[in-house]
Amino acid sequence: MGTAWSSFKRAVYLVHRWMGIGACLLMALWFVSGVVMLFIGYPKLTPWERMAHLPALDADQVRIPVAQALARVGEPANATEIVLTSVAGRPAYRVRDGAGRLSVIDAANGQVLPRASPAAAEAAARAWAAASAGTPAREGPPDAAARYVDTVTEDRWTHSSALNPHRPLLRVQLDDDARTLLYISSATGEVVLDAPLSQRAWNYVGAWLHWLYFLRDRPVDPGWSWIVIVLSAGGTIVALTGTLAGIWRWRFRGRYKSGKRSPYRDFYLRWHHITGLVFAAITCTWIFSGLMSMNPLGIFAAQGQRPDVAAYRGGLPGTVRPAVAAADALRALQATGFAPREIAWRVLGGQPYLLARDGADRTRLVMDMVGGGAGGEDKGDADGAGAAAGATASATAGADAGTGNAAPRILAHWPQATLRAAAARLNTAALMDMRWLERYDDYYYGRAPEAMNGGLERRLPAWRLTYADGADTWVYLDPRTGDMALSADRAQRRGRWLFNFLHSWDLPAMLRDDGWRAGVLIVLSLGGLALSLTGVVIGLARLRRKVGRPRALERPRTG
């Protein structure tokens, strides 16, 4: 038994000694870049940022009904997404078909727009810059303010798979104070990413470095994934073996002959030992949770039935649409003081509606009013008594003209009765509970834009649904949009704790005081950095001794 224990301890020391030489350098990079990521995130275009850079839609400029626009790009039944937005400052319909292909139709003249050219990309960039400057999109800065750079399939800032339908991407450099680099979709001509110079520069020592993106060359890269898994697993082993070795070498009772509790006299060895004991727990959890972020071997993959979003919707916008015309909906919304920047055709439980967003990414629901009545905003209420369930829309396959005797109905959110009926189709298991959330819980919460998932919309209030399936699935619904904001079964919720919580300290209570949280994380990161850098110095010294050890010289023969 004693021999086995001695062999185990020796193996721990050797693993930590030799694996730690490379791992400490990698962990030092992770600690430094992690601090940067607290303040500067990887480039992304958030929904609210995109809305802020779109002009308000002008009803007088929307002359082509949506049915006519759909007819220009193929079979209407194939349309899975229909959005009235602005491209280069002009209203246009963006249509996605069943294969994920995107088309754009000018809403003023019905012309199908070609794939974006360098000139079109510059026009889109000028419209973006005009919105930043607070000037009308058609009165943007001169041509020199936006310069086409090149076209790329992918670069270091565009690894996200969400950009795949828009590739290749046209890069345009703005002549603004932030030296913003814009990425324009070749499919739609829209701005899909903005990356100011300072953000790009900091990312070289931030997210780009932290995620080892210099080893990644495409949106889905199994090779990069396995490199990160292997390196983070190795780092976890080094951290755990170092923790064991540090505890074994520390005299909790009594002291060494030197009078110290640590046996090491060398400055770097002693402080590596001390910082290792102090920051062992956080180092182990951060490296381990980084490994968990890669979902190794799919351990956090959904185990239950995936939500059936198609059944929840009950139809596609290409075949089930409200009769209210887009221009009429715009005028009705503007009459209430709501200035839409974008309108999407949606279906919920078989009921068609329009989802409008303004410059602050606030939303309104627009649907037909059967049999007349005054249009206006129905706030509804928390328990669903807002009568929207009784306002059954007149779904049609192609009519876009207004009913003539009824104004469209405008709601702030869907009532509970409508959502509950549609939610019953999300899962074949019984819906056990439907709870109204006015505060974030441990799984549904918002993050700052610079966070990795800071581009996700997590609105409040929300509905949390619990299904009686074997995986204990929870679903969160956004009543202001009708969207499923999040689905998480038991395995996915476990991943939330082993990755998000351990790695980011992102419980809602912690996020309420982000300054306190950032301060604590910086102090812990500096401790981990000291641990790593002392390890680097020790490792390099050991390598020099190992490599530079002189061989015994052969004595010359005499005689």
- State the Cα angle at 80 between 78 and 84, rounded to 5°: 115
Name residues whose C-beta falls within 8 Å of residue 523's C-beta, 6 or more positions apart in sequence. Answer: none
Domain membership flag for residue 119: yes
Q: Looking at the predicted structure, is the pLDDT value of residue 462 above 60?
A: yes
Count of CB atoms situated within 10 Å of the CB of 392: 12
> Per-residue pLDDT averaged across 454-475, rounded?
94
| Owning domain of residue 191 | 114-205
Residue 229 scores a pLDDT above 80: yes
d(CA 89, CA 137): 5
Q: Is residue 170 part of a domain?
A: yes
Phi, psi torsion values for 344, nearest 5 degrees: -120, 140
Name the pLDDT band for 134 (thresholds 50, 70, 90): low
Query: Structural domain tally of the chain?
Result: 1
Amino acid at 136: P
For residue 545, what pLDDT band results from cuts at 50, 70 and 90?
confident
Q: Is residue 278 part of a domain?
A: no
Q: How far apart are the first and last CA of the chain?
A: 56
Judging by DSSP bridges, how do beta strands 102-106 and 321-322 pair with one another?
A: unpaired
Tokens at 501, concatenated: 């919580």
Q: How many whole angstroms separate alpha carbon 159 and alpha carbon 44?
A: 11
CA nearest neighbour of 192 among 317, 72, 85: 85
pLDDT in tens, 165-191: 999 999 999 999 999 999 999 999 999
Q: What is the mean pLDDT of residues 214-234?
A: 89
CA-CA distance, 386 to 413, in Å (whole number)?
Answer: 9
Round to whole Å and give the CA distance between 329 and 262. Answer: 74
- Over residues 91-104, the mean pLDDT reads 94
Say what the pTM is.
Answer: 0.87
φ, ψ dihedrals at 120, nearest 5°: -65, -35
β-strands 377-378, 409-411: how paired? parallel
- Please check whether residue 167 is in contact with residue 156, taking contact to mean a CB–CB distance below 8 angstroms: no
Q: Model confidence over 488-538: pLDDT tens digits?
A: 999 999 999 999 999 999 999 899 888 999 999 999 999 999 999 999 999
| Section 39-52 average pLDDT | 96
Q: Is the pLDDT of residue 380 over 50?
A: no
Q: How far apart are CA 342 and CA 354, in angstroms?
A: 10
Amino acid 84: pLDDT: 98
* In 250-367, alpha helices (H): 267-278, 280-292, 309-313, 326-335
What order of strands is seen across the sheet that includes strand 462-467? 431-437, 462-467, 474-477, 484-488
- 199 belongs to a structural domain: yes
Domain-embedded: residue 367 = no
Residues near 29 by Cβ (< 8 Å), separated by ≥ 6? 209, 210
More confident: 390 or 63:
63
CA dist., res. 273 & res. 270, Å (int): 5
261 in any annotated domain: no
| pLDDT, tens only, 386-429 | 333 333 333 333 334 434 445 789 999 999 999 999 999 999 99
Question: What pLDDT does 269 receive?
Answer: 95
Query: Which tokens sit at 346?
Result: 């949606």
C-alpha angle 390/396/401, rounded to 5°? Answer: 100
Q: Please, which pLDDT band fits residue 210 given cuts at 50, 70 and 90? A: very high
**181 occurs within a structural domain:** yes
Does some domain include residue 124?
A: yes
Question: Average model confidence (pLDDT) for the chain?
Answer: 88
Contacts of 11 (CB under 8 A, 6+ apart): none
Greater pLDDT, 514 or 30: 30
State how far the Cα of 354 lies from the Cα of 51, in Å rounded to an integer.
Answer: 16
For residue 460, the 8-state DSSP code is S
Could you give the CA distance from residue 467 to residue 429 in angstroms, rounded to a whole number?
A: 6
Give the list of residues 6+ apart from residue 38 with CB closer than 8 angstroms, or none.
450, 518, 521, 522
